[in-house]
Amino acid sequence: MKLSKKELKKISDVSWEIPKGFSEFMKVPARIYATSDALEDILKDQSLEQLMNVAALPGIEKVALAMPDVHEGYGFPIGGVAATSYPDGVISPGGIGFDINCGIRLLKSSKHIDKIKDYIENLTQEIYRQVPSGVGRGGALRLKTKEMDHVLEQGASWMVKHGYGQPEDLDDIESKGQLLGANPRCVSLHAKQRGQDQLGTIGAGNHFVEIDSVDQIYNEEVARVFGLFSGQLVFLIHTGSRGLGHQVCTDYLREMVRVMKPRYGIDVPDRQLVCVPFSSQEGKNYFSAMACAANFAWANRQMITWEVREAWQTVLKGNGGDLAILYDVAHNIAKVEEHEIEGQKKKVIVHRKGATRAFGPGHPELKETFRKVGQPIIIPGSMGTASYVLVGTTQAMEETFGSCCHGAGRRMSRRQAKREVTGSKLYDELRKKGISVQAGSMRGLAEEAPLAYKDVDQVVRVVHQAGIAKKVARLVPVGVIKG
C-alpha cells in the first residue's frame, strides 16, 4: 500500500503519524520524524511501507518509529525503532540488521587543531597503515577458538584485560562494551571463522576512521561535562561486527523462516520481517548469538582504538598526550530495557536499526558524570561533511524509547553514487577542502560520496527541534581513512 503525504497526520513541524487504522495489519500507529520537504523524499522509497509492516509485529508496544535519516532496509527500515513486549513479544533479526552493533566511538585529544595541523597528513597515513581496511581484510590479531569464545562473551573487557586499553575505557562504552546473555555456543563455527582475524579492522562500505576538529559548541555546560572544547582534535571510529555479525544474522534468518509459521503460527506482512517469540528457544538462541556479535563489535572498536592510539603516539613521538573515549554507541542492536508505557514501567525488547540510544538525565545505566546531563550521542555525517555530538533527553525517554537518529542516512544506492561521481574527482575535491584522504579504492570512495546521503545538518536539526536529542557540538573532518 503506497502512502502519500496527505494520508499522514501532522503532529508537529517535524513529526508525522500514520494512524493505526490506516492498515488492517497495524497494531500501533507509526511515527516519522522529518521536515515537510524531507518527508517528500522519504515517501519515494518503501521505508514508510516497511514501517507500517513493523507496526504489525506480534507484541509491538506503543508506536513504530522512523528517524529523519530513515531509508529502505531489510525488513525494518534503516532508521527504525520498535519495542515488543517482554518476554513473549517477538524478536526479529530484520530489526537489528546484518551488521550487528555497527556503531561509532569518539576519541578526544587535549590538542587544538592549530597545534596539530602540520601532522594531519602523516597521522592519516599512519592510521591507514595501522588499521587494516577493505573487504575481507584481516588484522594482525588472529584468535584461537577459545580466545574467540572469550571475546564473544566479554567484548571490550577482554581486549582491555589483554593490554588493548585501560579499565576506564569501559565506563564510556554503551553497556560497558559487554552485552550480557552472550553464549558462544549459539554462534556457528562458520561465523566464528569469518571473524577469526577481523578484530581491529574497519572493512569497507560506509565504515571509516576520521580525524575531526570541534567546529562549533552549542551547549557550553554539556560540552564541559563531555570534555569538549572549540578547535579540539578528535577521532571517530565507525565499524561493526564484520563477517561474524553478518553470518549470525544469515544463520538465524534461515532458522526462523523454517519455524515461524509452522511452530508459532506467526504471520507477517513481509517475509523479511521473519521473527519468533523472544521467550522461544530460537528467540533465546538468536538473542545470545546477537549479544556475542555485539560484543565482538565492541572488541573490534576497542582494538581499533588501540591502533589509533599507537598511530597518535608514533606521529606525535609521545608528545600528544592520551586519547580518551568520550563514548561508544551501537546503531544496530536489540536490548531488553525498561520504559514507561501508558503510565506503567514495563520491560520491552527495543529494536534499534540505524538508530542510536539517547538516554536522558538521571538514567541509572549512565555513569555518574553523564547522569547529570544525559547520554552522549555521536552522529557521523557523510564523508567530507559535518558530524555532531548530541545529548539524550527526558523527552526521548517518553517518546522514542530513549532513541534518536544515527547519521545522515543514504538517499541513493552505491551503484547510483558511482554513476554520479568518480572516486578520483571526489578525492581531489576533499583534498581541496584541506581534508587528507587515505582510501583502499577509488570505487569505494565514490560509493560513499556526500551526494549519496541526506543532509546531516537537517537530520540533526529535526531531532533537536523534536526534543529527542539536543545539539552539543559540531565536528568537521580534516582526515579520512576508508577501505
Handedness of CA 455, 456, 459, 462 (dihedral sign): negative
Q: Provide the pLDDT for residue 426.
A: 86
Q: Output the CA–CA distances (angstroms, integers) from residue 180 to 141, 199, 263, 411, in the order listed.
A: 24, 20, 28, 35
Identity of the amino acid at 321: G
Q: Provide the pLDDT for residue 81.
A: 98
Per-residue pLDDT tens digits for 275-315: 999 999 999 999 999 999 999 999 999 999 999 999 999 99
Q: Provide the pLDDT for residue 206.
A: 86
Q: Taking 80 as the threshold, does the pLDDT of residue 98 lie above it? A: yes
CA dist 348 and 337 (Å) reads 6
Neighbours of 406 (CB within 10 A): 28
Q: Provide the pLDDT for residue 417.
A: 77
Name the DSSP class of 23: S
Per-residue pLDDT tens digits for 404-424: 999 988 887 778 877 877 888
CA 213 to chain centre: 21
Q: Which has the higher per-residue pLDDT, 447 or 393?
A: 393
Q: Provide the pLDDT for residue 179.
A: 98
Residue 227 — very low, low, confident or very high, per pLDDT cuts 50/70/90? very high
Name the DSSP class of 20: G
> For the chain, how big is the Rg over CA atoms in Å?
21
CA dist 177 and 458 (Å) reads 30
Q: Which has the higher per-residue pLDDT, 442 or 98?
A: 98
Catalytic residue among 207, 331, 406, 464: 406
Q: Taking 70 as the threshold, does the pLDDT of residue 398 lie above it? A: yes
Query: What residue segments make up the domains of the chain, in order of their start?
Result: 5-411+453-482
406 catalytic? Reply is: yes
Q: Which three cell numbers stand for residue 436?
A: 587528507
Q: Taking 90 as the threshold, does the pLDDT of residue 4 lie above it? A: no
* 361-381: average pLDDT: 97
Per cent of the chain over pLDDT 70 is: 99
Q: Provide the pLDDT for residue 304.
A: 97
Residue 136 — very low, low, confident or very high, per pLDDT cuts 50/70/90? low
Handedness of CA 323, 328, 331, 332 (dihedral sign): positive
CA dist 421 and 91 (Å) reads 39
Residues 5-411+453-482, CATH architecture: Alpha-Beta Complex (3.90)
On whether the CB atoms of residues 472 and 389 are closer than 8 A, the answer is yes
Q: Taking 70 as the threshold, does the pLDDT of residue 137 lie above it? A: no
Q: Provide the pLDDT for residue 414.
A: 77
CA dist 475 and 387 (Å) reads 5
Mean pLDDT of the chain: 94
CA dist 138 and 133 (Å) reads 8
Question: Strand runs (DSSP E) across 374-468, as ranges?
Answer: 376-379, 387-392, 403-404, 436-439
Give the residue among 417, 421, 469, 3 at the shortest CA–CA distance from 206: 417
CA dist 306 and 369 (Å) reads 24
Residue 448 — very low, low, confident or very high, per pLDDT cuts 50/70/90? confident
Residue 61 — very low, low, confident or very high, per pLDDT cuts 50/70/90? very high
Q: Taking 80 as the threshold, does the pLDDT of residue 335 lie above it? A: yes
Write the DSSP assignment of 146-179 as a string of letters.
HHHHHHHHHTHHHHHHTTSS-GGGGGGBGGGG--
Per-residue pLDDT tens digits for 236-246: 999 999 999 99
Residue 205 — very low, low, confident or very high, per pLDDT cuts 50/70/90? confident
Q: Provide the pLDDT for residue 274.
A: 98
Q: Taking 80 as the threshold, does the pLDDT of residue 483 lie above it? A: no
Q: Provide the pLDDT for residue 420.
A: 78
Q: Provide the pLDDT for residue 409.
A: 85
Q: Provide the pLDDT for residue 1.
A: 60
Q: Which three cell numbers stand for residue 279?
A: 521467550
